[in-house]
Structure 1
Amino acid sequence: MNESTSTHPGPSVTRGDVTTDELADIGVDIAVDFPGSTAADFQRYPVLSEGGWFIVIKHQPSLTSVSRTPWTALGPIELTSKNLNIY
């Protein structure tokens, strides 16, 4: 019997880098709020909570949220009918 197994990668979270200017725009002073950290210690990514989907910026070593912005109702899922205009 020839058994072949297929490995599906499954869901993944795309994380984005954050710049020092972006952190300053949201009111984070790295030197004061996170001594010894750099902008490379912060990541932007989507999260699902009891309030729905959000795009957050977190300090990765401590997982402290510094920004939390509401995202789309279905998060990363886009319906094929999204841009469909029916008259």
Structure 2
Amino acid sequence: MRIPLADIRYLDVRRNYVTVHADRDYTVKRPLGEFEAELGDGFCRVGRAMIVNLRRIRCVGRSSVQLTDGTTLPLPRGAYEPLNRAIIDQT
């Protein structure tokens, strides 16, 4: 299934499955690293288990990131600076 990149909000891993959160959720058995290689510069890997669409971020705090649709995602320790840098580099 093809999903437009602009529709993807974030991807996360549960066990061996990646869930792509877009207009609806799609779960596939595939490594997150493969998605990371295909998604490109508009996305940032946050820790070991999540990739976020930088265009869908409303605000970033030290322990969480809020998306434009109101979803709040936890940030792992040490993820704030790299995510902030990716947002700055994107603009």
* TMscore range, shorter length: under 0.3
- Greater helix proportion: 2
- Greater strand proportion: 2
**TM-score for the superposition, normalised by structure 2:** 0.26
**TM-score for the superposition, normalised by structure 1:** 0.27
Which structure has the larger Rg? 1
